């Protein structure tokens, strides 16, 4: 929706108050027109991302779980469900729950590899899994995950920030 798009622009500019306002307005309209729709799930995820950026992990988790519930009902084997797993995994990782983060990222990766193998989404999730492995002290697994992500990124987006981040991650575990 245009309101969600305006919220995204505001978020990218760092204006979380405006982003929150736009996302909230979009959600109110979407609930009135099509409750429990994928559009509602998208707005809930957007609100969750603003909450995460503000450090309100409880609210972020609540909104991501609400979005996941809708997506599981309407599109259970979709990239949107994988995105919900990733979002919930990031919240778990930020809370220090590496077991839950790993589980969420593994679930996302399984869906992504089935629907969009060797995609940038797969590379992103592999990077997150590498981060979990690094935090757990398993540098060999971390390096393997980062290198797998890098291979995809170099093929699909050689000069991207994601590729640079993967190279940096590999250097960090090799050090």
Closest CA to 48 of 96, 9, 7, 102: 7
Closest CA to 120 of 76, 89, 165, 90: 165
pLDDT tens for each residue of 116-156: 999 999 999 999 999 999 999 999 999 999 999 999 998 98
CA 61/CA 104 separation, integer angstroms: 13
Pair of tokens at residue 172: 């960090």
DSSP state letter for 160: S
pLDDT tens for each residue of 58-98: 999 999 999 999 999 999 999 999 999 999 999 999 999 99
What predicted TM-score, i.e. pTM, was given to this entire model?
0.89
């Amino acid at each position: 929706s245009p309101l969600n798009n305006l919220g995204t622009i505001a978020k990218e500019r760092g204006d979380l108050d405006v982003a929150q306002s736009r996302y909230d307005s979009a959600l109110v309209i979407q609930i009135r027109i099509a409750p429990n729709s994928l559009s509602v799930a998208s707005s809930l995820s957007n609100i969750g991302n603003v909450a995460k950026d503000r450090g309100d992990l409880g609210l972020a988790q609540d909104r991501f779980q609400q979005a996941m519930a809708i997506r599981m009902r309407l599109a259970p084997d979709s990239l949107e469900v994988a995105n919900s797993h990733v979002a919930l995994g990031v919240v778990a990782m930020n809370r220090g729950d590496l077991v839950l983060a790993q589980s969420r990222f593994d679930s996302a990766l399984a869906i992504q590899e089935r629907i969009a193998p060797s995609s940038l989404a797969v590379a992103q999730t592999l990077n997150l899994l590498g981060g979990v492995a690094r935090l757990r002290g398993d540098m060999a697994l971390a390096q393997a995950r980062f290198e797998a992500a890098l291979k995809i990124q170099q093929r699909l987006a050689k000069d991207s920030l994601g590729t640079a981040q993967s190279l940096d991650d590999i250097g960090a575990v090799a050090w």
